[in-house]
Amino acid sequence: MKPTPTFAYGLLGLPLAFAALPIYVHVPNYYALVTGMDLALLGFILLGARLADAGIDPWLGWLADRVPRRPMLAVALLPFVLGFVMLLNPPAGPAAPWLLASLLLTYLGFSAATVAYQAWGADVGGDSALRTRLTASREGFGLLGVVLAAALPTVLAGNLQDGIARLSWLLPPIVLLAAVVAFSRVGAGRPQVVEVLALRPAMRGVLGDPAFRRLLLVFMCNGIASALPATLFLFFVADVLQREAASGALLAIYFLAGAASLPLWLKLATRLGRPLAWLAAMGLAMLAFAGAGLLGPDQLVAFALICVASGLALGADLALPAAIAADLGERRGQVGACFGVWNLVAKLNLALAAGLALPLIGLFGYVPGSGAGLPALVFAYALLPLAFKAIAAALLWRWRHSLEIES
């Protein structure tokens, strides 16, 4: 039985997300432990690389509105795969230049592929409902990819660091298989480009939409709230819970809960509207953050329940705001430019989380594996995200009526 176009389109989200988990979650801990890199230096390299990555996203979005989406996606997958393999296999010498170079290569391919992939989905989707289903398919397969990336390192090797290095070699065949299925089963769609603009006017056009600006601000506050615990997750499990061996299982629980929640959020979005469904997910996430701030050593069951709750909220974060953004971009005929700006903001969230959180907790005495500075780690992991999530929820409630777009 041949896969449906919705299934085939979403499948390519698996390898992109499979690589995203090690890049954004494992790399800080991996380079701190394997290479002994100072947390402040590590944080600044991650911040610099992610800022450079974010800076090219508007240009990539503009490019995606000028060239065919599928060829752009195919070309972008090559540096993405090469950079990822390099990133998780550092040489014995100085690690900082290798980390920076491999991150830049990986980010270039990943960003170009993601922008083209998202714009392609908006082209294929003929209306708001179909674009929401395509987004949910993409994010559902993405969550499956993240679960595999979370669970496989401990299966591939006896310790987490060796397992992460071996994980990198699984990406090339997964990308090849998913690309063949997607390109053979999904057509080019119908790009809704009204006028091909130069880069600066295209960005002004996208940012000139008040609804899109509001959505971006909510997305930024919500994204920082999610990026902080993602950056610090392995540190928290190892030093606060003192259960490093359980990190893979806990990540798998979190992302499986997110995948399982997607049908629920789609149903709620149909009944309540996407803004109100997203708001409900934010409330659930805030409860989870508050609970995490109360935990201590060996409270594994309680943290697993928190992973379930925050994972359920993740499903809404992945499917609903991106679907609203796709509608806004299609309405203006600038889907590529829209997702270029969208991904820039997503990258800024991750850059700020790594570039500020790691030096900050280091400044307040946290040293991985030593037991020192744990209050700073708990504050940055649980309580600071709670504040950002509350701001995002307040803004979303205020602007809820202007963010529900029908097309």
Give residue-wise pLDDT tens across range 230-250.
888 988 998 999 988 888 889
Rg of the Cα atoms in the chain = 20
Question: Which of 154-168, 252-266, 389-403 bottoms out in mean pLDDT, i.e. has the lowest?
Answer: 154-168
Q: How far apart are CA 98 and CA 27, in angstroms?
A: 13
Q: How far apart are CA 326 and CA 339, in angstroms?
A: 8
pLDDT score of 152: 86
Measured in whole angstroms, the distance separating CA 150 from the mean position of its chain's CA atoms is 14
Question: Which of 229-233, 249-253, 309-313, 370-374 bottoms out in mean pLDDT, i.e. has the lowest?
Answer: 370-374
Give the pLDDT mean for 199-215: 73
pLDDT score of 194: 47
Which tens digit of pLDDT belongs to each residue from 252-298? 898 889 888 988 998 998 888 889 999 999 999 999 999 999 998 98
Which of left, alpha, beta for 298 (phi over 0: left; psi -120 to 50: alpha)? left
Strands (E), 3-84: none
- Is 348 strand, coil or helix? helix
Residue 75 has pLDDT above 80, yes or no: yes
Total residue count of the chain as it appears in this document:
407
Question: Which residues contact residue 181 at a Cβ distance below 8 angstroms, ignoring those fewer than 6 apart?
Answer: 3, 8, 11, 12
User: Which has the higher per-residue pLDDT, 193 or 172?
Assistant: 172
Q: How far apart are CA 124 and CA 338, in angstroms?
A: 16
Q: How far apart are CA 352 and CA 53, in angstroms?
A: 13
According to DSSP, residue 400 is labeled G
Residue 54 has pLDDT above 90, yes or no: no
% the chain with pLDDT above 70? 91
Burial (CB < 10 A; 0-12, 13-18, 19+), residue 148, is buried
Greatest distance between any 2 Cα atoms in the chain: 58
Name the token pair of 385.
């995200």
**What mean pLDDT value characterizes the chain?**
84
Q: How far apart are CA 312 and CA 106, in angstroms?
A: 29
Q: Looking at this protein, which amino acid is placed at residue 78?
A: L
Which tens digit of pLDDT belongs to each residue from 17-47? 899 888 877 888 888 888 888 888 888 898 8
pLDDT score of 407: 45
Q: How far apart are CA 192 and CA 186, in angstroms?
A: 17
Give the pLDDT mean for 111-129: 79
With beta carbons less than 8 A apart as the criterion, state whether 320 and 222 touch: no
With beta carbons less than 8 A apart as the criterion, state whether 131 and 326 touch: yes
Q: How far apart are CA 36 and CA 26, in angstroms?
A: 14
pTM flag (> 0.85): no
Give the pLDDT mean for 344-351: 80
Closest CA to 339 of 348, 329, 347: 329
Of the spans 5-14, 170-179, 207-216, which averages the highest pLDDT?
170-179
With beta carbons less than 8 A apart as the criterion, state whether 311 and 254 touch: yes
Q: How far apart are CA 202 and CA 341, in angstroms?
A: 10
Residue 147 has pLDDT above 60, yes or no: yes
Give the pLDDT mean for 42-71: 82
Closest CA to 101 of 35, 52, 174: 52
Residue 344 has pLDDT above 90, yes or no: no
Q: How far apart are CA 122 and CA 116, in angstroms?
A: 10
Question: Which of 58-67, 213-222, 285-294 bottoms out in mean pLDDT, i.e. has the lowest?
Answer: 58-67
Name the token pair of 343.
């991904």
Residue 217 has pLDDT above 60, yes or no: yes
Burial (CB < 10 A; 0-12, 13-18, 19+), residue 225, is buried
% the chain with pLDDT above 90? 31
Which tens digit of pLDDT belongs to each residue from 80-117? 999 999 999 988 878 889 999 999 999 999 989 988 89
With beta carbons less than 8 A apart as the criterion, state whether 81 and 108 touch: no
With beta carbons less than 8 A apart as the criterion, state whether 103 and 49 touch: yes
316 sits in which H/E element: helix 300-332
Q: How far apart are CA 320 and CA 322, in angstroms?
A: 6
Domains (range + CATH), the chain: 5-183+199-403 (1.20.1250.20)
